[in-house]
Amino acid sequence: GNSVTQMEGPVTLSEEAFLTINCTYTATGYPSLFWYVQYPGEGLQLLLKATKADDKGSNKGFEATYRKETTSFHLEKGSVQVSDSAVYFCALGTGGGNKLTFGTGTQLKVEL
Amino acid sequence: DGGITQSPKYLFRKEGQNVTLSCEQNLNHDAMYWYRQDPGQGLRLIYYSQIVNDFQKGDIAEGYSVSREKKESFPLTVTSAQKNPTAFYLCASSPGGRGPRLTEAFFGQGTRLTVV
Protein backbone atom coordinates (compact mmCIF):
# COMPACT_ATOMS: atom_id res chain seq x y z
CA GLY A 1 0.00 0.00 0.00
CA ASN A 2 0.89 3.67 -0.09
CA SER A 3 2.79 5.28 2.74
CA VAL A 4 4.63 8.49 3.59
CA THR A 5 7.48 8.78 6.08
CA GLN A 6 8.50 12.14 7.52
CA MET A 7 11.28 13.06 9.88
CA GLU A 8 10.31 13.24 13.52
CA GLY A 9 9.79 16.62 15.13
CA PRO A 10 9.84 19.04 16.66
CA VAL A 11 12.46 20.82 14.62
CA THR A 12 13.71 23.99 16.33
CA LEU A 13 15.65 26.58 14.33
CA SER A 14 16.83 30.11 14.75
CA GLU A 15 15.42 32.76 12.43
CA GLU A 16 17.21 32.88 9.07
CA ALA A 17 18.47 29.29 9.39
CA PHE A 18 18.21 26.78 6.55
CA LEU A 19 15.36 24.30 6.75
CA THR A 20 15.11 20.74 5.49
CA ILE A 21 12.26 18.42 6.34
CA ASN A 22 12.74 14.97 4.88
CA CYS A 23 9.93 13.06 3.25
CA THR A 24 10.06 9.68 1.53
CA TYR A 25 7.21 7.69 0.09
CA THR A 26 6.10 4.28 -1.09
CA ALA A 27 3.44 4.14 -3.76
CA THR A 28 2.20 2.14 -6.70
CA GLY A 29 2.02 3.99 -9.96
CA TYR A 30 2.98 7.63 -10.30
CA PRO A 31 1.62 9.68 -7.43
CA SER A 32 1.36 13.41 -7.07
CA LEU A 33 3.23 14.80 -4.07
CA PHE A 34 2.22 17.61 -1.75
CA TRP A 35 3.36 19.61 1.22
CA TYR A 36 0.67 21.05 3.45
CA VAL A 37 1.09 23.45 6.37
CA GLN A 38 -1.13 23.63 9.44
CA TYR A 39 -1.15 26.58 11.84
CA PRO A 40 -2.52 26.04 15.36
CA GLY A 41 -6.25 25.38 15.43
CA GLU A 42 -6.64 25.61 11.68
CA GLY A 43 -7.12 23.35 8.69
CA LEU A 44 -4.43 22.38 6.21
CA GLN A 45 -3.21 24.79 3.58
CA LEU A 46 -1.59 23.56 0.40
CA LEU A 47 1.99 24.85 0.43
CA LEU A 48 3.30 23.33 -2.80
CA LYS A 49 2.90 20.35 -5.07
CA ALA A 50 4.59 18.35 -7.83
CA THR A 51 2.73 16.04 -10.15
CA LYS A 52 5.54 14.22 -11.99
CA ALA A 53 9.15 13.18 -11.58
CA ASP A 54 11.74 15.99 -11.50
CA ASP A 55 9.07 18.65 -11.02
CA LYS A 56 9.94 21.30 -8.47
CA GLY A 57 7.15 22.81 -6.45
CA SER A 58 7.75 26.21 -4.86
CA ASN A 59 5.81 28.76 -2.84
CA LYS A 60 6.64 31.45 -0.26
CA GLY A 61 10.34 30.58 -0.39
CA PHE A 62 9.73 26.86 0.18
CA GLU A 63 10.81 24.32 -2.43
CA ALA A 64 10.59 20.57 -2.94
CA THR A 65 11.69 18.41 -5.87
CA TYR A 66 9.96 15.17 -6.85
CA ARG A 67 12.76 12.57 -6.90
CA LYS A 68 11.49 9.31 -8.33
CA GLU A 69 14.85 7.54 -8.07
CA THR A 70 15.04 8.12 -4.31
CA THR A 71 11.24 8.26 -3.76
CA SER A 72 11.69 11.52 -1.90
CA PHE A 73 10.11 14.98 -1.72
CA HIS A 74 12.16 16.90 0.84
CA LEU A 75 10.98 20.38 1.84
CA GLU A 76 13.57 23.16 1.96
CA LYS A 77 13.70 26.86 2.72
CA GLY A 78 16.80 28.97 2.67
CA SER A 79 15.93 31.35 5.49
CA VAL A 80 13.09 30.61 7.92
CA GLN A 81 11.08 33.19 9.79
CA VAL A 82 9.22 33.03 13.09
CA SER A 83 5.98 33.11 11.08
CA ASP A 84 6.94 29.77 9.49
CA SER A 85 6.35 28.01 12.81
CA ALA A 86 3.70 25.40 12.09
CA VAL A 87 3.21 21.69 11.43
CA TYR A 88 4.19 20.51 7.96
CA PHE A 89 2.64 17.45 6.34
CA CYS A 90 3.96 15.55 3.36
CA ALA A 91 1.31 13.71 1.35
CA LEU A 92 0.85 11.72 -1.81
CA GLY A 93 -2.18 11.33 -4.04
CA THR A 94 -2.87 8.49 -6.39
CA GLY A 95 -5.50 7.66 -8.93
CA GLY A 96 -8.15 5.02 -8.71
CA GLY A 97 -9.44 6.12 -5.35
CA ASN A 98 -7.91 9.59 -5.60
CA LYS A 99 -7.01 9.42 -1.96
CA LEU A 100 -4.43 11.44 -0.11
CA THR A 101 -2.03 9.56 2.15
CA PHE A 102 -0.32 11.68 4.81
CA GLY A 103 2.83 11.51 6.82
CA THR A 104 2.57 12.07 10.57
CA GLY A 105 3.60 15.71 10.31
CA THR A 106 6.70 17.61 11.46
CA GLN A 107 6.38 20.50 13.86
CA LEU A 108 8.68 23.42 13.10
CA LYS A 109 9.51 26.01 15.74
CA VAL A 110 11.46 29.08 14.69
CA GLU A 111 12.96 31.27 17.42
CA LEU A 112 14.40 34.76 17.33
CA ASP B 1 -14.75 33.31 -2.84
CA GLY B 2 -14.41 29.64 -3.71
CA GLY B 3 -13.55 27.27 -0.95
CA ILE B 4 -14.61 24.67 1.55
CA THR B 5 -16.68 25.58 4.56
CA GLN B 6 -16.92 23.42 7.64
CA SER B 7 -19.33 24.13 10.43
CA PRO B 8 -19.41 24.46 13.31
CA LYS B 9 -15.82 25.25 14.29
CA TYR B 10 -16.35 23.81 17.78
CA LEU B 11 -18.88 21.16 18.74
CA PHE B 12 -19.68 19.55 22.04
CA ARG B 13 -21.55 16.28 22.31
CA LYS B 14 -22.83 14.25 25.18
CA GLU B 15 -21.93 10.60 25.26
CA GLY B 16 -24.48 8.45 23.46
CA GLN B 17 -25.58 11.19 21.07
CA ASN B 18 -25.15 11.31 17.33
CA VAL B 19 -23.81 14.54 15.85
CA THR B 20 -23.47 15.74 12.27
CA LEU B 21 -20.59 17.83 10.94
CA SER B 22 -21.22 19.96 7.88
CA CYS B 23 -18.93 20.33 4.87
CA GLU B 24 -19.84 22.44 1.84
CA GLN B 25 -17.69 23.32 -1.18
CA ASN B 26 -18.27 25.68 -4.10
CA LEU B 27 -15.21 24.62 -6.09
CA ASN B 28 -17.22 22.31 -8.36
CA HIS B 29 -15.04 19.42 -7.20
CA ASP B 30 -16.16 15.84 -7.77
CA ALA B 31 -14.34 14.21 -4.88
CA MET B 32 -14.73 14.92 -1.18
CA TYR B 33 -13.07 13.44 1.89
CA TRP B 34 -13.29 13.31 5.66
CA TYR B 35 -10.17 12.97 7.80
CA ARG B 36 -9.67 12.69 11.51
CA GLN B 37 -6.68 14.24 13.28
CA ASP B 38 -5.63 13.37 16.81
CA PRO B 39 -3.03 15.33 18.80
CA GLY B 40 0.48 14.74 17.53
CA GLN B 41 -0.70 12.41 14.81
CA GLY B 42 -1.21 12.54 11.10
CA LEU B 43 -4.51 12.47 9.28
CA ARG B 44 -6.54 9.29 8.96
CA LEU B 45 -9.14 8.86 6.25
CA ILE B 46 -12.69 8.17 7.46
CA TYR B 47 -14.79 8.23 4.27
CA TYR B 48 -14.45 9.56 0.77
CA SER B 49 -16.72 10.15 -2.19
CA GLN B 50 -15.65 10.36 -5.82
CA ILE B 51 -19.05 11.28 -7.20
CA VAL B 52 -22.56 12.18 -6.09
CA ASN B 53 -24.54 9.32 -4.52
CA ASP B 54 -21.42 7.22 -4.08
CA PHE B 55 -18.95 6.91 -1.21
CA GLN B 56 -16.39 4.46 0.16
CA LYS B 57 -15.03 3.63 3.58
CA GLY B 58 -11.59 4.83 4.46
CA ASP B 59 -9.23 3.42 7.04
CA ILE B 60 -11.28 4.22 10.15
CA ALA B 61 -14.95 4.23 9.08
CA GLU B 62 -16.38 2.37 12.08
CA GLY B 63 -18.75 4.54 14.08
CA TYR B 64 -19.17 7.10 11.30
CA SER B 65 -21.63 7.57 8.43
CA VAL B 66 -21.82 9.93 5.46
CA SER B 67 -24.10 10.90 2.60
CA ARG B 68 -23.44 12.55 -0.75
CA GLU B 69 -26.80 13.69 -2.11
CA LYS B 70 -25.41 16.86 -3.66
CA LYS B 71 -22.09 17.59 -5.29
CA GLU B 72 -21.48 20.52 -2.95
CA SER B 73 -22.18 18.76 0.33
CA PHE B 74 -20.65 15.83 2.22
CA PRO B 75 -21.90 15.73 5.83
CA LEU B 76 -20.32 13.39 8.38
CA THR B 77 -22.31 11.86 11.23
CA VAL B 78 -20.42 10.72 14.28
CA THR B 79 -22.59 8.04 15.84
CA SER B 80 -22.77 6.78 19.40
CA ALA B 81 -20.94 3.68 18.18
CA GLN B 82 -17.73 5.67 17.79
CA LYS B 83 -15.80 4.83 20.95
CA ASN B 84 -13.44 7.78 21.03
CA PRO B 85 -14.95 10.62 18.98
CA THR B 86 -13.06 13.56 20.51
CA ALA B 87 -10.81 14.80 17.70
CA PHE B 88 -10.26 17.43 15.04
CA TYR B 89 -12.18 16.63 11.84
CA LEU B 90 -11.10 17.91 8.46
CA CYS B 91 -13.01 17.91 5.21
CA ALA B 92 -11.28 18.15 1.83
CA SER B 93 -12.18 18.16 -1.84
CA SER B 94 -10.40 17.53 -5.13
CA PRO B 95 -11.46 18.04 -8.73
CA GLY B 96 -10.95 14.61 -10.31
CA GLY B 97 -13.27 11.83 -9.29
CA ARG B 98 -11.77 8.90 -11.16
CA GLY B 99 -8.75 10.38 -12.92
CA PRO B 100 -5.31 8.81 -13.14
CA ARG B 101 -3.88 10.93 -10.35
CA LEU B 102 -4.94 13.43 -7.76
CA THR B 103 -3.48 16.78 -8.75
CA GLU B 104 -4.73 19.01 -5.97
CA ALA B 105 -6.81 18.89 -2.83
CA PHE B 106 -8.11 21.67 -0.61
CA PHE B 107 -9.13 21.57 3.03
CA GLY B 108 -11.67 23.29 5.21
CA GLN B 109 -10.79 24.93 8.53
CA GLY B 110 -11.84 21.93 10.56
CA THR B 111 -14.34 21.11 13.31
CA ARG B 112 -13.13 20.32 16.80
CA LEU B 113 -15.48 17.81 18.40
CA THR B 114 -15.40 17.25 22.13
CA VAL B 115 -17.43 14.62 23.96
CA VAL B 116 -18.50 15.78 27.41
Find all residues with CB under 8 Å of A79, minimum gap 6, and list them.
A16, A17, A18, A61
Q: What is the pLDDT of residue B42?
A: 83
Return d(Cα A62, Cα A55) in angstroms, integer. Answer: 14
Q: How far apart are CA B69 and CA B74, in angstroms?
A: 8
Interface test with B, best of A51, A100, A101, A104 (most B CBs within 10 A): A100
> For position A10, what pLDDT does the model report?
93
Asked if B94's CB is within 8 angstroms of A32's CB, the reply is no
Please give the DSSP secondary-structure letter assigned to residue A12: E
Share of chain B above pLDDT 90, in %: 68
Contacts of B40 (CB under 8 A, 6+ apart): none
When computed from its CA atoms, the radius of gyration of chain B, rounded to whole angstroms, is: 13
Question: Comparing C-alpha atoms, which of B11, B93, B81, B85 is closest to residue B49?
Answer: B93
* A84 backbone dihedrals φ, ψ, rounded to 5°: -85, -5
Residue type, A82: V
Q: Residue B99: its pLDDT value, please?
A: 57
Nearest to B59 by CA among A59, A19, A101: A101
Q: Do B48 and A97 touch (CB under 8 A)?
A: yes
Amino acid code (one letter) for A89: F
Q: Check residue B94 and give its pLDDT.
A: 87
How many C-alpha atoms does A3 have within 13 Å on its Cβ side? 4
Q: Please tell me the predicted confidence (pLDDT) of residue A98.
A: 63
**pLDDT exceeds cutoff 70 at B7:** yes
pLDDT in the model for residue A23: 97
DSSP letters, A23-68, are EEEE-SS--EEEEEEE-TTS-EEEEEEE-STT-EEEETTEEEE-BT
Q: What tens digit of pLDDT does each residue of A88-107 get?
A: 999 998 765 567 889 999 99
| Chain B environment of A104 (Cβ under 8 Å) | 41-42
**Residue A105: its pLDDT value, please?**
93
- Give CA–CA dist A69/B16, Å, rounded: 50
- Per residue in B77-116, pLDDT (tens digit) is 999 888 899 999 999 998 865 555 666 788 999 999 999 8
Percent of chain B with pLDDT over 70: 91
Tell me how far CA of residue A33 lies from CA of A8, A21, A53, in angstroms: 19, 14, 10
Cβ-based contacts under 8 A for chains A and B: 81
B102 contacts on A by Cβ (under 8 Å): 31-32, 93-95, 98-100
What is the C-alpha separation between A96 and A93, in angstroms, rounded?
A: 10
Separation in Å, CA of A107 to nearest CA in chain B:
9
First to last CA, chain B: 35
What mean pLDDT do residues B33-55 have? 90
Residues of chain A with pLDDT under 50: none
Q: Which SS3 state, helix, strand or coil, does residue B49 take?
A: strand
| Residue B5 scores a pLDDT above 70 | yes
